[in-house]
Amino acid sequence: MEPRILLAHGGGGGASHRLIQEVFYRYLGNDILLQGNDAAVFDVVPGKLAMTTDCFVVQPIFFRGGDIGKLAVCGTVNDLAVSGARPLYLSLGLIIEEGLPVELLEKVVASIAAACLEAGVKIVTGDTKVVEKGKADQLFINTTGLGIIPESVRVGGEMARPGDLVLINGNIGEHGLAVMSERAGINWETPILSDCAALHGLIAEAMEAGAVHCLRDPTRGGLATTLNEISRQSHVGIILEENAIPVSGAVRGASEMLGFDPLYLANEGKVVVIAPPASAKAILERMRRHPLGKDSAIIGEAVAEHPGLVALKTAFGGERLLDMLEGEMLPRIC
Amino acid sequence: MEPRILLAHGGGGGASHRLIQEVFYRYLGNDILLQGNDAAVFDVVPGKLAMTTDCFVVQPIFFRGGDIGKLAVCGTVNDLAVSGARPLYLSLGLIIEEGLPVELLEKVVASIAAACLEAGVKIVTGDTKVVEKGKADQLFINTTGLGIIPESVRVGGEMARPGDLVLINGNIGEHGLAVMSERAGINWETPILSDCAALHGLIAEAMEAGAVHCLRDPTRGGLATTLNEISRQSHVGIILEENAIPVSGAVRGASEMLGFDPLYLANEGKVVVIAPPASAKAILERMRRHPLGKDSAIIGEAVAEHPGLVALKTAFGGERLLDMLEGEMLPRIC
C-alpha cells in the first residue's frame, strides 16, 4: 500500500480494490462483507426492523476515551438500541481527504473492528470516496445500522406518561468536554475521558428488568435537549432534580471554568430511560449492576403540567425552565 | 429559516430541529420518516434483504442531466436493483459546509424527493452534520439503501458462465464526461448530459424476460473495470466487440479530443446484464422497449479462456487486453 491516501484510492479502479483488500477486508472481513457484490445480501427473520444513520465529523479524530471509528460504531449501535432493536448490521461510508496517512486510516479501521466485535455487529457493506486536499478534514464517516425489534418491544419518544420516572446510567457531559479539551489542548488535572460506549447490553438488561416507555441517548444537545424532545413528542412536562443528576467533579469543575452547562454537553455512552414508577426501581437496580450503569440514578419525573416543557428543580430549591440547546455550543464533537 | 447554513444547524438543538422541519420533513416527509425517533421502524416480509451504501462527493453539485441529490438516490437504488432487490428504503446522511445557501440545499432536497418518487423509495431516516467553512466542499451525501430480494432471484458477480452473453442498455461514458465538462466549463456543440437514472424498472423487466446471471452498474472505473470485476469473481474470460458497444458521437468526439477512453468513463444510468444465450435475445428485446434501454445491445460474451481477463476485439480486427482502471482518471464524478 502507498503510505498516504491518493485520489486514486477512491476511483473505483485498481488502487480502490487494493485499499479494500488490504485495509477494509483485513480488519472488517466477514461472510457478508466478503460477498463482494454491489449490495450485501442476508436473511432476516420476519418482524420489525429498525434503521438509523449517522455522519461523524468529530475533530480531532482521536481523543481521550475514543476515536472517530469507535464513535461511528457506538453512535449507530446506540441509536438502534434505544429504538428497542438488537443491532445487527452496519454499513460504513468513508470520505477521506487526500494525503491522509494510511497508518491513521488503519488505526481507525482497527478501532471500528474492535467496536463491532464488542457490540456484536458486522460491517456488511461499505464505500470510500477521496476528495482533494483541503476539501475535507482528514476523515468523515457515515454508519447506517440495521437491527431487529422483538415483537414484544414497544418504546418511543411519544410514550412517556405523567408519573413516569426518568433514569440515566451515569455521569453526564464527559464526551463533549473530552473532545473539546483535546481540540483546545487543555490537560485537566483529572483527565476527562469520553464515555463513548455501546449501550445495547445495558439497555437489554434494563428492558428485561421491567416495563420501559422511552429510551434515548442524549448526544448532541445533551440531556436537556433530549428531554425537551421527549416532552414534546409525549405531550408531558418533565421535572428534573438537579441534585440527583450525576456529574463528575472533573466535569463540574471544567464546566464552571469554561462556562458550559453539563446539561447541554454531548454524551456518547449515556441513555435516558423513562419507565412507569412500578418498574423504575427494579430497572435502576439492574442498571447499577452493569459495568456501564454503576452510577445510574433516578433524576426526575414526567408530569401532566406544562406539557412540552422541561423544568429543573435547582439545588437551592428554585425552579428554572430548561430549553432546547439553541445555536451551537461545541461544534464537531461527533 | 436563515439564508445560509450555520454550524448550529448541525448542533442537534433548536436550529437543527428547524432545518429538519422546514427542509427535510417538508420535501421528504412520509409515515416512517415522521416517526421522529432515533431509528426508523418498519415491518418487512420474511426473505432476503439487500443493503448497500454510497457516499457522494460530486463537484459541481449541479451538472447537465442531474445533481448530487438525484445521483445519491439513483446510485443507491441501482446498487440494490443490480443485486436483484426491489429498492424500498433509503437513509440520508448529509455533511454540509458552513455557509451553504439554504436555497441550494433545498434544491438538492427537492431533487432527492423527485428521484425517490420516481424510484418508488422512501427516505426513512437521516442525519445532518455541519463543518466549518473550508472543511468540506459545499455538500457531501451518504445514502444507504435497503431492498427485498424475491425468493426466486439469484444474481451475482460470481455467476457468469462461459457462453453467457454480455448486454448493456445504451451509450456509455456520458456521466463522467458531463460532470467533467461542467467542472472545466466546456460547452460542447452537442451537449453531453449525464445518464443518471434509476434502473430498477428496466432491470425488473430484463429479469422477467429471461434467466439472468449477473447484473452490475458500470459506475466509477467504467465498463472495462466492471467487466474485470465480474471476470475475476466468476473466473471466466470476457471478450467485448468494440463495434457493438454503444457510444454516442458526442462522447466519442469529446473523448478523442480530451484523450479519454469511454470504456473507463463513469456511467450512472447503465447496467451490464450477463445472461445465458438462450435468454439473451428475449432480454435484449424487452430492454429495447423500455425508455432507458432503447439503445440496448449485446456487446460481448463470457469465455472459458483467459479467466479473470477482459479482451476487446477492436474495430480493425485486432485484440487487446482491457485492464481495470488504475489511478484516477476523473476524480469526484460521483
In degrees and rounded to multiples of 5, residue A100 shows phi and psi of: -60, 130
Percent of chain A with pLDDT over 90: 92
For chain A, the C-alpha Rg in angstroms (whole number) is 21
Cβ–Cβ under 8 Å, residues B256 and A48: no
Report the pLDDT value the prediction gives residue A285, as an integer from 0 to 100: 98
Contact status, residue A17 vs residue B233, Cβ threshold 8 Å: no
Mutate to test the interface with B, among A41, A76, A203, A232 (most CBs of B within 10 A): A41
Q: Give DSSP secondary structure letters for B61-126.
A: SEETTEEHHHHHHHHHHHHHHTTT-EEEEEEEEEEEETT-BHHHHHHHHHHHHHHHHHHT-EEEEE
Question: CA B251, CA B175: separation in Å to the nearest integer?
Answer: 10
Quick one: pLDDT band at residue B163, thresholds 50, 70, 90? very high
- Rounded distance between C-alpha atoms, residue B161 and residue B275, angstroms: 9
Mutate which of B5, B34, B38 to disrupt the A interface (most A C-beta within 10 Å)?
Answer: B38
Give B-chain residues touching A219 at CB under 8 angstroms. 12
Cell numbers at A317, concatenated: 430549591
Nearest to B137 among A37, A131, A221 (CB): A131
* Numbered ranges of CATH 3.30.1330.10 in chain B: 7-149
Closest CA relative to residue B325, chosen from A189, A11, A60, A182 = A11
Name every chain B residue with its beta carbon within 8 A of the beta carbon of A12: 219-221, 225, 266, 325
Q: Boundaries of CATH 3.90.650.10 in chain B?
A: 165-321
CATH fit for domain A7-149, picks 3.50.50.60, 3.30.390.10, 3.40.50.720, 3.30.1330.10: 3.30.1330.10
CB atoms within 10 A of CB B173: 30
B66-100 confidence digits (pLDDT tens): 999 999 999 999 999 999 999 999 999 999 999 99
In chain A, residues with a C-beta closer than 8 Å to the C-beta of B136 are 135-137, 140
Q: Please state, as a whole number, how many other Cβ atoms lie within 10 Å of the Cβ of residue B183.
A: 16
E strand or H helix at B277: helix B277-289
Contact A126 B53 (CB under 8 A): yes
CB-nearest partner of B44 from A44, A56, A323:
A44
Query: Which of B77, B138, B144, B223 is best to mutate for the A interface (most A CBs within 10 A)?
Result: B144
Closest Cα of chain B to A92: distance in Å? Answer: 7
Chain A contact set for B221 (CB, 8 A): 11-13, 16
Q: How confident is the model at residue A329 (pLDDT cuts 50, 70, 90)?
A: confident
- At residue A132 the predicted structure's pLDDT band, cuts being 50, 70 and 90, is very high
Give the architecture (CATH level 2) of B165-321. Answer: Alpha-Beta Complex (3.90)
| Tens of pLDDT, residues B30-71 | 999 999 888 999 998 877 999 999 999 999 999 999 999 999
Considering only the beta carbons, identify the residue of B50, B217, B327 that sits closest to A15: B327
Check CB contact under 8 Å for A52 and B142: no
Cis peptide leading into B60, omega within 30 of 0? yes
Question: Quick count: other Cβ atoms within 10 Å of Cβ B246?
Answer: 18
Q: Helices marked H in chain A — which ranges? A: 14-19, 26-28, 68-81, 102-119, 174-184, 200-209, 222-234, 249-258, 277-289
Tell me the residue ranges of DSSP E strands in B180-279. Answer: 214-216, 237-241, 272-275
